[in-house]
Amino acid sequence: MGLECGLIGCGKMGRGLAEVIRDKLPEARVTTAFDAHAPTLEAFCREFEASPAGSVEEMLGKAEVDAVLIASPNHRHCEQTVAAAAAGKHVFCEKPMALSVADCDRMMEACEGAGVKLMVGHSMRLNPLVRRLREEVAGGALGDPIFGLATYFFSGFAPRESGLWHVSRELCGGLFFQMAIHHIDLFLDLFGPARRVHYSGGRYGKQVRDFDDAAGLMIEFDAGGRGMFCTSSISSVPCGEMRIICTKGFVRLDSPWTYFEFGRDEETLERVEAESLPGPGAYEMELGSFVDWVLRDAEPVLTAREGRAAVAVAEAAQKAEASGGSAEVAVD
């Protein structure tokens, strides 16, 4: 018996999820879709042979829909997850999980109360290169991670048919809830739980958004390590990189994520090329795990707890920005 899925949000992210299910996961199908922009919905349903739903409520009322994939604007994630849980549907929700820890807790409580699964799509940590990098860090030969530096510069978002939600703090959450949430999650995966953040940023580009367009965030981790992450939405050239100093070695991951290097010193650095790594891609791994979790109760690669932890750091960054300094990270 397969898993029949409804898709909420048929834009670039939703379409990408649907492509993976269609091309890589024969046990699942996207059978129903909803998007507030009618031409986008129509085009999606035509390409993926899905039935259009006139509303989220209509989709959730379909008995044949077992699970929903939520790829809608950030501010919709909580309400749509809670509604899906009330309808008895399992949920795969794209990052960020929500725009506050309180909303994350509402989502988890709703799904736990309804007895349905909730997974949050933090795909960066599941990239094959990052998975291998994590193996080297977790393996112990390099010692414990003590300081990390990551950058992610991108060129903002093109106008979308779904509107300008991505330039509004109220609707998207701000700089550290957008693409930067990936690196927050990755740092948490490598360094463990965070306890405090320090923020510095500003607005330097043409002001089309109501939040900072360049910022740095220092994260203090419970285990004693530190991570510095710098991000901007106004870079003319998208780029990113990561460096991690460990007690016995070093790790370097370069943009555009085609390789990483690790070693105890400069003379012993080993290079791992992305093209040399077998296995599923990030989206295939997370969606495949979600399907396996729902159908066979297999251990998931991601849960709502990871999604909540990343939101807690992003929310602390927002508080630190408002106070002009630092903020504590909300714990479970």
pLDDT score at 236: 86
Same CATH topology for 3-122+282-301 and 124-279+310-328? no
Span 251-275, mean pLDDT? 91
**Least confident segment among 86-90, 238-242, 326-330:** 238-242
Per residue in 117-176, pLDDT tens?
999 999 999 999 999 999 999 999 999 999 999 999 987 665 554 567 778 889 999 999
User: pLDDT above 70 covers what percent of the chain?
Assistant: 97
CB 313 within 8 A of CB 184: yes
- Would you state the structure tokens that stand for residue 198, as one six-digit string? 């320090």
Q: How many CB atoms lie within 10 A of CB 42?
A: 14
Q: How many CB atoms lie within 10 A of CB 307?
A: 27
- Would you state the structure tokens that stand for residue 213, as one six-digit string? 């367009």
Span 251-256, mean pLDDT? 86
Give 179's pLDDT tier (boundaries 50, 70, 90): confident
Dihedral, 207, 209, 215, 219 alpha carbons, nearest 10: 170
**pTM above 0.85?**
yes
**Superfamily the domain 124-279+310-328 falls into:** Dihydrodipicolinate Reductase; domain 2 (3.30.360.10)
- Would you state the structure tokens that stand for residue 122, as one six-digit string? 């933090």
For 260, list phi and psi in degrees, rounded to 5.
-140, 160
Pairing of strands 249-254, 259-263: antiparallel
Q: Which residue has the tokens 């043409």?
A: 206
**Superfamily the domain 3-122+282-301 falls into:** NAD(P)-binding Rossmann-like Domain (3.40.50.720)
Domain segments of the chain as ranges: 3-122+282-301, 124-279+310-328
